[in-house]
Structure 1
Amino acid sequence: MNQLHALYRLQQLESAIDAAKKRADEIEAALENDETVRRCKAEFETSETELRQKEGLVQDLELDIASLVTKVTDNEQLLYSGKITNPKELQERQEEIASLGRRRTTRESELVEARLAVKEAQTQYAGTKAALETAQRAREQNNQDMLKEHQSLRRDMSGWLQDRKVILKQIDADKYKVYKKIKAQKNGLAVARLNGESCEVCRVEQYLSIISQVRQHNQLVFCHNCGRILVDI
């Protein structure tokens, strides 16, 4: 393999390594941070909190109603026991019983609404719980697939890195320095194939003198437009 072909092969290897590393990093980040599961978990926790709050309100209303019933019963027993003979006190007891009755009616109406709200919250809770469980199962399956892909990428990168070492030994230090400089300037692509009479990357047609030099395969020749190293493969 001549020097120019070796540079082109080096670029292919380094591009493959860079792409594989980027994908491996993406997989690692995805394994650590699953947005769907996090969102579903947040929605589930919110629905759980709302359900508990609504259930708590139902319990409070039931206790309040039970307390009102007890107070009414106690007042009625006292009222009809004959122990109260004062007309004013009798009237006060009757008014108290009526007031307790009105409060009970209000609380019972509120209890009906609260129980309906609990049913709605239970439906919401069940939905978010199912969504979370589905997302967690999907993550587990996806994680297995991504782990396999990650392992495959690491194996590929290991092989490409070994190939890169072999290729580097075939390239002169001066040519490699030029390659690295252009690579840094040209978004990772320092070498371009000659496609017919044009640079494959920028697609600009080359002078005949440049084409002739490229096809001799013995020196670095640059695209007169983009400045990349041209190779004839």
Structure 2
Amino acid sequence: MSASLGLYRLQQVDRQIDRTRSQLDTIRQTLENDAEMRECLKQVETAKAAHHRAHHELKSTEVEVEAQKIKIEQAESSLYGGRVQNPKELQDLQKDVASLKKHLSTLEERELEAMLAAETADKNLQNANTQLELIQARLGSEHKKLIADQSTFVMELENLVEEREATLAPIDSSLLQIYEDLRQQRRGIAVAEITDNACAACGGTLNSAIQQSARSQKLVNCPTCGRILYSN
């Protein structure tokens, strides 16, 4: 077997290995780092925080309203209980009751606004949780397929590694180093076929002497890109 043929076959295996590893990396990244899931979880956390604030505000306004009502009851009890007889004191109590009731109206308006905000927060949280459940269900199905594909690719990679070891056996170590260096320099393609009198990798035209040398199983490099030329 010629050196160029051996390196060409090695490159075919290496490219399959590269593709398989790339597919495994894509699956791993999808399983570990799903952008849609992260965004949905972020929305749920935001909705939870808003829900907590809204209900805390509602609870605060409810406490204030209840406290104001107690103040009004106490003031009215003093006003109508008969214990205060002085007209000036009675007039002052009437003013206090009126002021307390006016402030109660303001507090009740705030309470109503807080109730509406809490209802909105409830709906937003429910919607966020529902969306999360939908995404989890869909991704669960998708991830199940990805995990199955992952197992298939792992087995395929193991077989390819074994095939590579067998392909390496007849190749001289010095040629292998040249091949590896070219793979790094030329984006994974160290060996290029001759197609239509040109290098299939870079498109550089090849004269008849270079083509003849490649066909005679000599190790020839493309004068344009430096890749090893292979002619079948």
Pairwise TM-score range, normalised by the shorter structure: over 0.9
Give the superposition deviation at 1:212.
Answer: 0.8
Could you tell me which runs of 5 or more consecutive residues in structure 2 were left unpaired when the two chains were aligned.
none
Contact 2:51–2:125, Cα closer than 8 Å, also in 1? yes
1:227 equivalent to 2:226? Answer yes
Equivalents in 2 of 1:207, 1:171: separation in Å? 27
Structure 1 residue 39 displacement after superposition: 1.5
Equivalences for 1:58-207 in 2 at 5 Å?
Answer: 58-207=58-207
How far apart are 1:13 and its partner, in Å?
0.8
Deviation at 1:142, TM superposition (A): 2.1
Amino acid in structure 2 at the alignment position of 1:79: L
Q: How far is 1:56 from its partner?
A: 2.1
What's the secondary structure of 1:60's corresponding residue?
helix
How far does residue 209 in structure 1 lie from its aligned partner after superposition? 0.4
Contact 1:183 1:190 in 2 (8 A): yes
Gapped regions of structure 1 (runs ≥ 5): none
Kept in 2: contact 1:57–1:114 (CA 8 A): yes
Matched position secondary structure for 2:84: coil
C-alpha contact (below 8 Å) 2:5/2:230 kept by paired residues: yes
Q: 1:71: how far off?
A: 1.8
Q: Structure 1-normalised TM-score?
A: 0.93
1:160 Cα deviation after fit: 0.8
Q: Match of 2:204, SS?
A: coil
Partner of 2:126, secondary structure, is helix
SS at match of 1:194: strand
Secondary structure in structure 1 of the residue aligned to 2:220:
coil
Counterpart mapping for 1:4-23 below 5 A: 4-23=4-23
Partners of 1:104 and 1:46 in 2: CA distance: 32
Question: Helix, strand or coil: the match of 1:193?
Answer: strand
Per-residue CA distance 1:79-113 (angstroms, 9 max, x = gap): 11211012222122111101110111101111222
Query: Counterpart amino acid of 1:45?
Result: E
Q: Cα offset for 1:180?
A: 1.8
* Whole-Å separation in 2 of the counterparts to 1:232 and 1:177: 21
Aligned length: 232
Is the 1:198–1:206 contact (alpha carbons within 8 Å) kept by the matching residues of 2? yes
Question: Following TM superposition, by how much is the alpha carbon of 1:3 offset from its aligned partner in structure 2, in angstroms?
Answer: 2.7
Amino acid at match of 1:100: L
C-alpha contact 2:3 2:219 (8 A) present in aligned 1: no
Deviations 1:99-131, CA, capped at 9 Å, x for gaps: 110111101111222222122212211211111
Q: Which moved more, 1:220-229 or 1:181-190?
A: 181-190
Question: How many percent of aligned residue pairs carry the same amino acid?
Answer: 29
Distance 1:202 1:90, change over 3 A: same
Partner in structure 2 of residue 46 of structure 1: 46
Distance 1:52 1:166 in 2: 64
Q: SS of the residue aligned with 1:203?
A: coil
What is the CA RMSD across the aligned residues, in angstroms?
A: 1.5
Runs of 4+ in 1 over 3 A off after TM superposition: none
Name the residue aligned to 2:55.
55
Amino acid of the structure 1 residue aligned with 2:118: V
Q: Quote the Cα distance in structure 2 between the aligned partners of 1:172 and 1:64.
A: 88
**What is the aligned partner in structure 2 of residue 3 from structure 1?**
3
Deviates more, 1:26-35 or 1:94-103: 26-35
How far apart in 2 are the matches of 1:152 and 1:6?
28
